[in-house]
Homo-oligomer: A and B are copies of this chain.
């Protein structure tokens, strides 16, 4: 039995609200337990310099926490004068992971800006943001699709992410903050609906881990991600219709 009554392989309750704000092309509010994130996707009709003229699109992410998303108020980046390393790492991760399931050629010369703003943090903000951002990207891409009808629909697969870890020598799924801050091993996994990895990041700062540990954590994560993708499907319903239809790879 865990801290909050869950079993070792049990996720926290998930709640998704689509079209959360009125201006963004895709806008999702997502709760996983007490972790709450707003994921807005904006479409911009140009691409970064390194891609200009190549006919390809780009996906980039900015991640931020409200100062009081955490127990202790965190100073705003602009006050400190720089983005902290953790934020950088997370926003690079989210962008990279979402690019892996989008056909950027099919998207054409557009940038999808993902803004993940954490309202309340209780562990797993980066994996929650990935799941929220995935849904928001589907909504944003569909808005384009209904207008201009992509020849090849750009979203190739479902994608979700979850954390796993070892806490007090127990392997657990979906760590909340109290667990995460005591974890011996901490791992984030992003996976597609056909069960392939897009990203693994595992750290044993407190205690190194064996190959066997790794494989057990993968099992746990894979199950969690399957459930999370079910939630995405329930949330998107008919709007998920086109996912994977354009995929040639």
Contact = CB atoms under 8 A, between A and B. Distances in A.
A205 B99 contact: yes
Given A205-B96, A208-B192, A23 B81 contact: no
Contacts of A117: 66, 117
A71 interface: yes
Given A199-B203, A214-B200, A22 B34 contact: yes
B196 A199 contact: no
Interface in A104-145: 113, 115, 117, 119-120
A169 B205 CA distance: 32
Given A200-B202, A204-B100, A21 B81 contact: no
Contacts of A214: 197, 200, 218
Contacts of A88: 85, 88-89
Contacts of A100: 204-206, 208
Interface stretch (A1-9, A38-46, A238-246): A38-46
A73 B204 contact: no
Contact of A78 (B36, B40, B82, B211): B82
Number of copies of this protein chain within its complex? 6
A170 interface: no
A78 B83 contact: yes
Interface string A15-33: 0000001111001000000
Nearest to A99: B205
Contacts of A119: 21, 38
A192 to B, nearest CB: 5
A69 interface: yes
Interface of A: 21-24, 27, 34, 36, 38, 40, 42, 44, 62, 64, 66-71, 73, 76-79, 81-83, 85-86, 88-89, 91-92, 96, 99-100, 113, 115, 117, 119-120, 157, 191-192, 194-206, 208-211, 214-215, 218
- The 10 A-B pairs at the shortest CB distance, nearest first, are namely A196-B208, A40-B68, A77-B78, A85-B88, A42-B73, A24-B68, A88-B88, A200-B202, A21-B120, A85-B92
